[in-house]
Structure 1
């Protein structure tokens, strides 16, 4: 599934348009060096298709490219990082 993921710094989220609803990965920035991924949402019609994983990868790549450490408050993000050891170096 090809996704067009957009990063909205003002609203602190990565979004993918899924038709009627957007899938999103929301975050907070408790400090300049840290990004806390707080919430993942995928519309029911798009679940099970890897959408959340693509959003999470996009968010983690953004963190890495910008030298930020990651907090995974969202259990989906936490599980993704646990299953993908390459991203564990980003954890705060």
Structure 2
């Protein structure tokens, strides 16, 4: 994560069912679904104004930290999140081993 994004807080917007960060009045977010034991990350998006800022990667990393701290397991349905974990395999530790694509991470 770029150093300038480290102190931006992650917001769990339960009304919109998304994890989000705000940068210069623009949002990067990940839609999620949650059960008592798992959090599914469905879709990552950053507003066009945030292109090239690293905001999408930052919201992914912050969300993974949140999921790990919650003690829940991750289901990375979002292709961006899946690719992020492939590039950063240390995060495989929080992926539910029953996830269909687990062996491809």
Relative to the length of structure 2, the TM-score reads 0.76
CA distance in 2, matches of 1:20, 1:48: 16
For the pair 1:5 / 2:5, whether they are aligned, the reply is: no
Of the three residues 16, 20, 23, the one matched with 2:21 is 16
More strand by share: 1
For the pair 1:38 / 2:42, whether they are aligned, the reply is: yes
CA distance in 1, matches of 2:25, 2:62: 22
* RMSD across aligned positions (CA): 1.6
* Structure 2 alignment gaps of length 5 or more: 97-105
For the pair 1:64 / 2:68, whether they are aligned, the reply is: yes
- Contact preservation (8 Å) 2:18, 2:31: yes
CA distance in 2, matches of 1:11, 1:45: 21
Relative to the length of structure 1, the TM-score reads 0.86
